[in-house]
Structure 1
Amino acid sequence: MASEGSRPGRRMCNGMTDNEITEALDDSDIDFSDTNSDDDPAYLPPELMPLRNCGSSSSDDDERSDDTLLEAQVPSPAISENSLNIPVFVASRGRARSTNRRGRGRSFARGNIAIRSRSSPSLSLNNSAQLSDNWTAEKLEPEALDLIYPAYFHTEREDWEWHQFYDEYIDEEILSVIVNATNRTHILETGKSLGLTLKELKTYLGITMLMSALQYPQIDMYWSAKWRIPAIAKAMTRNRFYFIRKRLKCVYDPDVTTEQKVEKVWKVKPLFERILKGCHLQDRPKNLCIDEMIIPFTGRCPMRQYCPNKPNPVGLKVFVLASPQGVVCDMVIYQGDTTYPELKALGFGLGESSVLFLTRTLVPGHSLFFDRYFTSVKLCDELVRRGFHGTGTVMRNRIPRDCILKEERLFNKERRGSTEVKVREDEKLAITMWLDNKPVLMMSSCYCDDNHDECECWSKKERRYETVRRPEVIKMYNQNMGGVDLADRMLAVCPSRNRTKKWTIRVISHLFDLCVVNPWLQYRVEETKKQSLKKNIMQLRHYKLELGNKLIRDGDIDDDQTDDDITEDYEELEPKHKKRKVLVKLVPTLECRLNKAAHLPDFNVLKQHRCRRSSCDKKTTVFCKKCEIFLCFVPNRNCFTLFHEDDS
């Protein structure tokens, strides 16, 4: 039996033998290096569809494997290689081997082989042969979209106190919902009442804010004998703090229906919606940005995601609409397939659906900026249809096939700052390629390279700054895209991220942090408008400390008390036998002692206590109802009156 190399070739439909076709193949200009086994093996260009039946057949075509006969697709004499400007090849039995004329080596493939273009892996023919450049407009003519003014309800905040910005996001109504849900859930699980009150919840929130601003490595240290913080330790005991933190709830589970549980965030939905209500009240400039935010959490969670290149890559993904100044205006937590069911049914991807969903509270006329995770031609066209402009970086594989740009290896050889602009024929969409350290691709429905300027960029090769030509689309993108990143940086200054195994506790803490960052950004803007000195504007950490201290005081003060009536609480004294520590009431401040209101004597007939006046060491049963300390009150020893008249 003759070997495969010397075997007589079969006659094909055009009269050529296998050997003749192989020789023609060796002289051809085709390169199989881009062949991908994932392509459709039955694919042929439209010009070659009549040739599908020209190949020889085999009796076992239905049962062939990778090593079986590969049918050759050979053009007829009426269709020449030169007329179609495409390479012609044939696959023989077993492995197909080809060596091109330019000596680029050999390429082997198994199974059916599809014709491919060398310049673009996704095209079946050469661009110049099959596709025409439809992005040939000379100038971008964007849709004229005017922002309706005033577009939103503008609240006058000029005379607001620093703490009033916080009240836009958290009010007593949502705190009462949390208190009721927490108490009812605890009764359902244990049969006992937790006893949580609205004032105690405010105290708890104030303590968490102080903890996040002070950043002790362990929660127990705030109550330790050596490192204790009096503002925290006196407001609530450590065990009570842990007790509330562990059982904090936003909803009462039996009240939630099965339809409501389809949303995976139903456990925190009341708090999330109340904060969204505050976000929707904020002023929104014409230019807004959309990006991802991560709520860090590495425990078990049905919505946990991994996003590389983020400071905290593991956690809950949140799509955020923010102003360039970092104020969060809208957001949505990614929940998987249940996030945007209506938009996905219309054929939009996740990134496209996120942008369209976040525009639901906007009036037409805004310009939106986003990164390449969201950008596509379909999204930009849909935004224009809804009355918005879109601008963002774009992936090369999302550029339309009929938009022919320079090859990257050739574009890299040009001078830094070079640009290439392609405008669609309808003059409503432009793609700009700009050379920085590497090519940057931008897609926009309102900006291109019409109004360019110059910027200073660092040259790593020359080790100095150099002047680089910058298109308008790059300038506008850099100015307006960093709002979500700025909010992320502010949230990372003093976050409430103590260890927890419950994703609900982490989300609640993150949302309350957001209710501090957003008000602080607004407070800083208003103080800047008033031309306040920079040193008089509170920094974020100081702002959070003051807000936490105010919440603690609001939780401790009774309705009939004033700030002057507040006294220091308790101190720890070491007993003589050192068996246990005794809590003894501290001596009130001088201002509280000299305030004549509500200082009334009372009697404790059960036990005598040492008089707390510094110059007296007698025991007495009389104590002050306001100061809550014992003072002598007898005819020859009136320490009660003397204590409230001077500083003795």
Structure 2
Amino acid sequence: MGRNRFQLLLRTIHFVDNEGVPEDGKTDKLWKIRPFLKMFREQCLLVTPEENQAVDEMMVPFKGQYSHIKQYIRGKPNPWEFKIWCRCSKSGILHDFEVYQGKTGTNRDKSALGVAGEVVSKLSDTLPSHKNYKLFADNLFTSVGLLEKLQQTGFQYTGTVRANRLHGCSLKSEKELSKLGRGTSDYRVEQDTNIICVRWHDTKAVTLMSTCVGTLPLDTAKRWDKAQKEYRDVSRPLIIKEYNSNMGGIDLLDSCVVRYKFQLKSRRWYMYLFLHFIHLAVVNGWFFYRRDCQMLGLEKPLILRRFQAQIATGLIQVNTTKKRGRPPLDRPESPTLQPKRVRIPPSRDARKDQFAHLPIKIDKRRRCAICQITTNTHCEKCNVSISFTENRNCFREYHV
């Protein structure tokens, strides 16, 4: 596809008919892209969730002027961004999300849980209740009211908590724990709701609340000692281990999205969200692929870059008459400077689409892609040599 055609298609893409949307529907700040977001969310909800789920925020950089939902967060690498609330599994698979529209975009400001607490409550509504699902989140979301509400709806919760949300819980201060040494902890248990609050001292004191895990059994974690200049074992409660092992799913997803993300400028703010969710779909598919490879015992699955290239190749070649790609380079005059040609096999989707795979005869004999026997039978679309004899039909085996 040429550049001009690609830019033309990009300019004409729309997700909703602007003239067909009533004035009541435009109160939603995401009405220009709402059909796409709804379709994408429905597909995410079809995935069977894992037992441990993490809730956190994901940021999409945006510096344009024509958007009412962009947020300014001081100290970030990209201060102006779109904020997306996400619920992911430990492996990084996205299960549910919601694009934040600002304080005026929702009716949660008057709730006792606040905006962040209501986000966890809404994202947990799409999970089956009383099925032993465990939620993890950081101190932005955690409060006593949230833990009590999730208990009533049949969910367990673990997360860090801020000091001003402890409601009179008398834990040892950071100064007292630092005198006792690194790795010390203190905890309190609320008898009525069985909520535990733990404060553990590492380099600093960190406070966590949970309804499903406590301090025992203790284990050890390696930490660097500046005074002795060596690693030493530090005592660690179980709640710290569970939180650290289940909270990194969204960070893993975000890092994979940013790793091979192509930049595209547009005056329309919703195009940035559209492209971001396209990358989320690719990374989500890669996580499924790695999970299936692990179940099947495959040792070397494709890396994310190769997986992304296979998807692009499959979308280009499926249901086409012949193999497409760049035209061959002109041969240079000097024979020593001839470019090295690498034969790239077709994608599996294009190979098995059963469309326009025509056998032809070529002058030069090549090895068969299945049995490695030399043959002059060639697939016009796949651009590979495949033997086709009375005793062996590799052509059918390769395409079915």
Larger radius of gyration between Structure 1 and Structure 2:
1
CA distance 1:568–1:523, change in 2 (3 Å):
closer
Cα separation, 2, equivalents of 1:432 and 1:461: 27
Deviation, structure 1 residue 495: 0.9
What's 1:217 paired with? none
- Which residue of structure 1 aligns with residue 62 of structure 2? 297
The aligned amino acid for 2:13 is L
Instruction: Using the TM superposition, give the Cα deviation of residue 594 of structure 1 relative to its aligned residue in structure 2, in angstroms.
Output: 7.2
Q: Secondary structure at the match of 1:492?
A: helix
User: In the alignment, which of 305, 308, 320 is matched to residue 541 of structure 1?
Assistant: 305
Give the distance between the partners of 1:371 and 1:264, measured in 2 at CA.
27
Quickly say closer, same or farther: Cα 1:309–1:453, change in 2 above 3 A: farther
In structure 1, the residue matched to 2:94 is 328
Secondary structure, in 3 states, of the residue corresponding to 1:350?
helix
User: Between the two proteins, what is the percent identity of the paired residues?
Assistant: 32
Aligned partners of 2:58, 2:112: CA distance in 1, in Å?
Answer: 24
User: C-alpha separation between the residues in 2 aligned to 1:311 and 1:528?
Assistant: 35
**Count of aligned residue pairs for this structure pair:** 335
Residue 379 of structure 1 corresponds to which residue in structure 2?
146
- Residue 266 (structure 1) shift: 1.0
Instruction: Provide the TM-score with structure 1 as the length reference.
Output: 0.49
CA distance in 2, matches of 1:416, 1:568: 60
What is the rounded CA distance, in whole Å, between the counterparts of 1:237 and 1:567 in structure 2?
Answer: 13
- Displacement of 1:258 in angstroms is 1.6
The equivalent residue for 1:245 is: 10
Match of 2:249 among 461, 483, 493: 483
Q: Does 1:471 align with 2:248?
A: no
Name the CA distance, whole Å, in 2 between partners of 1:439 and 1:568.
58
Structure 1 gaps, min length 5: 1-235, 574-591, 597-625, 628-648
Deviation sequence 1:522-565 (CA, Å, 0-9, x none): 0110011100122xx111111111111211223xx45xx4xxx4
2:44 aligns with one of 279, 289, 292: 279
Q: Partner residue of 1:366?
A: 133
Q: 2:184–2:200: 8 Å Cα contact kept in structure 1?
A: yes
> Are the counterparts in 2 of residues 369 and 391 from structure 1 also a CA contact under 8 Å?
yes
Alignment pair present for 1:550 and 2:314: yes
CA deviation profile, 1:133-158 (whole Å, cap 9, x unmatched): xxxxxxxxxxxxxxxxxxxxxxxxxx
**Which fold has the larger relative contact order, with Cα–Cα distance below 8 Å and residues 6 or more apart in sequence?**
1
Q: Which residue number corresponds to residue 265 of structure 1?
A: 30
Contact residue 286 and residue 304 of structure 2 kept, 8 A: yes
Change (3 A) 1:245 1:462: farther
Moved over 4 A (4+): 308-311, 567-573
TM-score in terms of structure 2 length:
0.78
Letter in 1 for 2:265: R
Distance 1:287 1:567 in 2: 44
Check whether the contact 1:497–1:506 (CA below 8 A) recurs between aligned residues.
Answer: no
Residue 361 of structure 1 aligns to a residue whose secondary structure is coil
The answer (yes or no) to whether the contact 2:16–2:33 under 8 Å persists in 1 is yes
Q: In 1, Cα distance between the equivalents of 2:74 and 2:44?
A: 28
**Which residue of structure 1 lines up, in the alignment, with residue 156 of structure 2?**
389
Opposite residue 451 of structure 1, the aligned amino acid is: P
Contact 1:248 1:505 in 2 (8 A): no
- Write the mapping of 1:581-592 to structure 2, written as runs, cut at 5 A: none
Q: SS of the residue aligned with 2:63?
A: coil
Question: Does residue 1:254 correspond to 2:28, yes or no?
Answer: no
Does the Cα contact within 8 Å between 1:316 and 1:334 map onto a contact in 2? yes
Mapped contact 1:294–1:313 kept (Cα < 8 A): no
How far is the alpha carbon of 1:328 from its aligned partner? 0.5
Change in 2 beyond 3 A, CA 1:483/1:568: closer
Residue type at the aligned position of 1:510: H
The one-letter amino acid paired with 1:337 is K
Asked whether the 8 Å contact 1:496–1:513 carries over to 2, the reply is no
Once the two structures are TM-superposed, the CA of residue 274 in structure 1 deviates from its matched residue by 1.2
* 8 Å contact kept, 1:370–1:481: yes
Quick one: which of 81, 91, 104 aligns to 1:315? 81
Distance 2:59 2:278 in 1: 15
- Structure 1: distance between partners of 2:238 and 2:5: 58
1:427-438 equivalences in 2 (<5 Å):
428-438=194-204
What is the CA-CA distance between 1:273 and the residue it aligns to? 1.1
> In angstroms, what is the RMSD of aligned CA positions?
2.4
Q: CA deviation at 1:452?
A: 1.6
Using the TM superposition, give the Cα deviation of residue 322 of structure 1 relative to its aligned residue in structure 2, in angstroms: 0.3
Among 495, 499, 507, the residue aligned to 2:273: 507
Residue of structure 1 equivalent to 2:220: 454
Counterparts of 1:229-240 in structure 2 under 5 Å? 236-240=1-5
